[in-house]
Amino acid sequence: MTILFLGLRATIFYIGYALLVIFFSTTGVVFFSLLPYKIRSNYIFLWNRCTVLWARIICGLKFEVIGKENLPQGQAYVALAKHQSQWETFFLQYFLAPAKIVLKKELLKMPVFGWGLKLTDPIAIDRGNPKKALKDIQQQGVASIESGISVLIFPEGTRMNPGTQGKYARGGANIAVGSGAAIVPIAHNAGVFWPADKFIKKPGTITVVIGKPIESEGTNSRELNELAENWIEETVASLPMKP
């Protein structure tokens, strides 16, 4: 496929995505903001589903999930996922629901987009104040687990290009140890098809691999974080690195 054709597809995708943002954010605030968490969050997660579907239809971004059976049933957990693109933020929020995502608070201040995001009750942190951010993640994350809602964290904190690795923060592992919940590591290669710093999306099949839960009992956050990091990076390295 030519760059021109791929660019046209990406343009059509973003036009449709912008319309989805406007529709779900405005209708969510008007009709769902006063409803219980499960109802309003599921409505916004429908927005995520539509975005992933739209990317599949227009950009040819398919996906396969390996290890779905590893997700704990009937109990909340801490999901630690590789971060390479926007795609996994859309996909994992609805695929793991109910789950609260940890994100930077600046996203909630964005016009329209932030309105809808607030309806999912995310754990919003101030990355400019690391000590407070760590405390907020711990307190809100443990409270979420205790209420039966899982927590989704991208421990590297920012999107990493395929083949690269960032420092894994221990916020998720701290929540797991503090709440007694298990960590579910998640690897994928979405960045190969949806590059973080590129406009064009490359058609192909994104592979998402869900690992077996790593129990937090009898370990500390450093050891737990290393176990999850090693599994994620080794699994990502085994996935296709070309479209």
Q: Please give the residue range of the domain that contains residue 217.
A: 3-237
Look at the chain and report how many structural domains it folds into.
Answer: 1
* Residue 1, pLDDT above cutoff 80: no
| pTM to 2 decimal places | 0.94
Is residue 243 assigned to a domain?
Answer: no
Is residue 42 assigned to a domain?
Answer: yes
Establish how many alpha carbons lie within 13 A of residue 44's alpha carbon, considering only the half-sphere containing its beta carbon: 33
Is residue 109 assigned to a domain?
Answer: yes
**Size of the chain in residues:** 243
CATH number at residue 33: 3.40.1130
Cα distances (angstroms) measured from residue 90 to each of 39, 65, 98: 18, 15, 14
* Residue 76, pLDDT above cutoff 90: yes
pLDDT tens-digit series, residues 163-194: 999 999 999 999 999 999 999 999 999 999 99
Is residue 98 assigned to a domain?
Answer: yes
* Residue 71, pLDDT above cutoff 90: yes
Is residue 242 assigned to a domain?
Answer: no
Residue keyed to tokens 């490359």: 202
